[in-house]
Every structure is written in C-alpha cells, then in structure tokens.
C-alpha cells in the first residue's frame, strides 16, 4: 500500500493547544496500551504498519514541520514538502508528482491520501488497504471512504451512495449541512466523508496537467506559489462523474476538534485545574496558573501561552473564525 498522510495544517480548531508553531498532529496527547503518550502522527503511522508492514508512507507537509516529523518518525520517512501553504488539491498534486518523479513509483500504482488525524482502530487502515486493492482492478478512477454516521453533525461533509453495498457509486455530496439537513441526509443513507482519496497516480497527474501548466515535480515545486489555493473536493471530486465510495462501519473520529478530542481523553484534567462538576468539564492547562471552573457543564477549557478558550463542547468546532479574530486583538 502506498499512502500519503496530509499533515500540513496548523490545527486552528484545537487552538490554543494547537498553533502553527505546535500543530495538533505533533501533540503527544494520546495514551498507548502500555501507558506511554504519543502524537496523532505516531499513532497513525504505527497503525498503518500493523495493517501493512510493507506500506510505503509519505508525509505531505510544510517546510517548517519537516524537522518535527523526522524527530517523531525517524530520518527515513519520505516527506513531500510544500513550499507554500495551499489547500489539499495543490498538496495532493505535488505529493503525487513527488512519488513518481522523485521516488520513482510507477504511475499505474494506486495511492491513498489520508488526513493525519483520524482516531480509529486498525480496521480503518485495513479498509484503506482494501480500497487501494479494489481501485487497482476497476475502470472507475476515484474512491472515497464513507463513515457510518452516529449523529447529525454539522462539521462533516456527507456522501450519498447509490446503493447500500459495501462499495457503491456516489449519487451526490453535501458539504457540512446544518443539523436538520444532516439528519435528512442520514435518513437517506448518507455517510460522513472521511477525507480519504484513493486513485492511481496516473489519474491525478492527468487531471493536474489539465488544470496546471507544469512538466514534472521540479517544475511544479518552483511554480507552487502561483497555484490557486483550492480543495481536492472542489477541484476534482465535484467534476468526476463516476466516483466510488467504500463503507467503513467501525468507530471513527476526526480528533482535530475539541469535542472529538475530549471524547478520547481518559482524564478530565491535564495540568492545574479543579471544578465542582468534574464529570462534565475538561481542562487542559499548560500554564502554571491554576484554573477553577464552577457552575458550568459540558465545557472545555484550555490555557496555554498562546491564549485561552472556554467553550461549550458541542459549539467548539466553530472556533476557526474566532481564532482569526483573536490574532488581530
């Protein structure tokens, strides 16, 4: 299995714990079975190799994160460095070109692109492995991973499959509907979009050459700063006629948000904190000043040198525009 982990984001939805200088994927906040702590990046990397010991893993990221990736995964890990911060389409095209032109991987090889922050058991990555094997043998060019929803959440995109099979053609998409419409999509059999894209390298490079004027990886790298910042969904997925979706029925969470992260925590307090309702409050305090939380329920509080957030857990996924405002204070 060839898999590329998309790790270029700064994780604003976990601010102030995650910042451009200390991104969420590197925070050692997850417990291993033997009691050690590990980062999202380390957890996902280990899971991939448990499922497929021969997997070729590449990380697509920005230059300022490369050193930390090597520290956490070792010097042998291959990294596709993005010279500018763009969205997922430029990052995926650059990494695909890197695989072909630098690592000399056959363009007819299938590759999976996966976010670096899914919180799932090993079967999630086994599903990605199986998706790679399937797309290698069919005429359809692109496969997505769909998660069986557990609630009408507004923070995910929704995939509507044409059939209830394990693998089906996609009928339609809806990006982050409100709660009422999310429930309607779920009632119609929709799946959460896991943000995983599976395709042959030749497919995406052909599409890329239709949209971008470049000759090879090295040329694209030099021109990267001129590329439009656009997501893979908007640049490719919305224009592809025949898209497949493979279901994943296991437990899954995107722990890039406070509500998802607190659901995985085995302790309510990290650092100096007390509360009169500790069963409904999560505090992560990286400062030396104690935090007291009284009379509040279902809240997350996080304090670092970068700032403080106090939020209802269910509203915490809406933080991004407020982080942008806070930067201007």
Domains of the chain and CATH, by start: 2-254 (3.90.550.10), 267-327 (no CATH)
- How far the first Cα of the chain sits from its last, in Å, is 46
Q: What is the pLDDT of residue 10?
A: 65
Q: How far apart are CA 110 and CA 178, in angstroms?
A: 35
Contacts of 130 (CB under 8 A, 6+ apart): 246
In the chain, % of residues over pLDDT 70: 99
Q: Which of 165, 159, 110 is nearest to 134 (CA)?
A: 110
A 10 A CB-CB count for 189 gives 16
Rg of the chain, C-alpha, whole Å: 20
Residues forming beta bridges with residue 60, ordered by sequence position: 6, 80
In the chain, % of residues over pLDDT 90: 69
Q: Judge contact between 132 and 198, C-beta under 8 A.
A: yes
Mean pLDDT for the chain? 92
Q: What are phi and psi of 267, to 5 degrees?
A: -140, 150
| pLDDT tops 70 at residue 297 | yes
Q: Judge contact between 265 and 253, C-beta under 8 A.
A: no
* Residues 8-23: tens digit of each pLDDT: 776 788 999 888 777 8
Q: Judge contact between 40 and 33, C-beta under 8 A.
A: no
- The pair of three-digit structure tokens given for residue 157, joined into one six-digit string: 């995109």
Q: Identify the residue with better confidence: 36 or 120.
A: 120
Confidence of residue 202 (pLDDT cuts 50, 70, 90): very high
Determine the distance from the C-alpha atom of residue 49 to the mean position of all C-alpha atoms in its chain, rounded to a whole number: 18
Q: How far apart are CA 28 and CA 302, in angstroms?
A: 16
pLDDT, average across residues 304-329: 91
User: Which range, of 166-170, 230-234, 264-268, 283-287, averages the lowest pLDDT?
Assistant: 264-268
Question: Is the CA virtual torsion 97, 98, 103, 109 positive or negative?
Answer: negative
Place of tokens 């086994």: 126
Q: How far apart are CA 93 and CA 285, in angstroms?
A: 39
Q: What is the pLDDT of residue 143?
A: 97
| pLDDT tops 90 at residue 207 | yes
- The pair of three-digit structure tokens given for residue 122, joined into one six-digit string: 């090993």
Q: How far apart are CA 14 and CA 320, in angstroms?
A: 9
DSSP letter (8 states) at residue 287: S
* Residues 103-151: tens digit of each pLDDT: 999 999 999 999 998 999 999 999 999 999 999 998 888 999 999 999 9
CA atoms within 13 A on the CB side of 133: 8
Q: What are phi and psi of 318, to 5 degrees?
A: -90, 15
Burial 236-252 (b: 16+ CB within 10 A, else e): bbeeeeebbbbbbeeeb
């Amino acid at each position: 299995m060839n898999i590329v982990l998309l790790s270029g984001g700064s994780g604003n939805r976990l601010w102030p714990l995650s910042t451009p200088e200390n991104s969420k994927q590197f925070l050692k906040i997850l417990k291993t079975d033997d009691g050690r702590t590990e980062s999202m990046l380390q957890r996902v990397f280990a899971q991939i190799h448990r499922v497929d010991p021969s997997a070729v893993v590449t990380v697509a990221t920005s230059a300022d994160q490369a050193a930390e990736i090597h520290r956490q995964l070792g010097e042998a890990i291959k990294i596709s460095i993005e010279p500018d911060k763009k969205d997922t389409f430029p990052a995926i095209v650059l990494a695909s070109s890197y695989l072909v032109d630098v690592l000399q991987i056959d363009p007819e090889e299938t590759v999976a692109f996966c976010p670096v922050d899914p919180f799932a058991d090993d079967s999630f990555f086994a599903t990605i492995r199986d998706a790679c094997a399937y797309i290698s043998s069919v005429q359809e060019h692109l496969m997505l991973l769909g998660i069986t929803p557990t609630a009408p959440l507004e923070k995910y995109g929704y995939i509507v499959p044409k059939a209830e099979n394990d693998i089906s053609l996609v009928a339609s998409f809806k990006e982050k509907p409100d709660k009422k419409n999310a429930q309607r999509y779920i009632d119609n059999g929709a799946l959460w979009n896991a943000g995983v894209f599976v395709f042959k390298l030749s497919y995406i490079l052909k599409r890329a050459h239709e949209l971008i004027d470049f000759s090879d990886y090295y040329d694209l790298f030099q021109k990267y700063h001129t590329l439009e910042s656009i997501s893979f969904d908007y640049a490719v997925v919305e224009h592809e006629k025949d898209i497949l979706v493979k279901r994943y029925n296991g437990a899954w969470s995107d722990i890039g948000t406070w509500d998802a992260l607190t659901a995985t925590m085995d302790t309510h307090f990290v650092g100096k904190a007390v509360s009169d309702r500790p069963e409904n409050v999560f505090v992560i305090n990286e400062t030396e000043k104690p935090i007291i939380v009284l009379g509040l329920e279902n809240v997350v509080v996080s304090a670092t040198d970068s700032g403080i957030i106090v939020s209802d857990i269910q509203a915490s996924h809406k933080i991004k525009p407020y982080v942008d405002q806070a930067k201007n204070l």
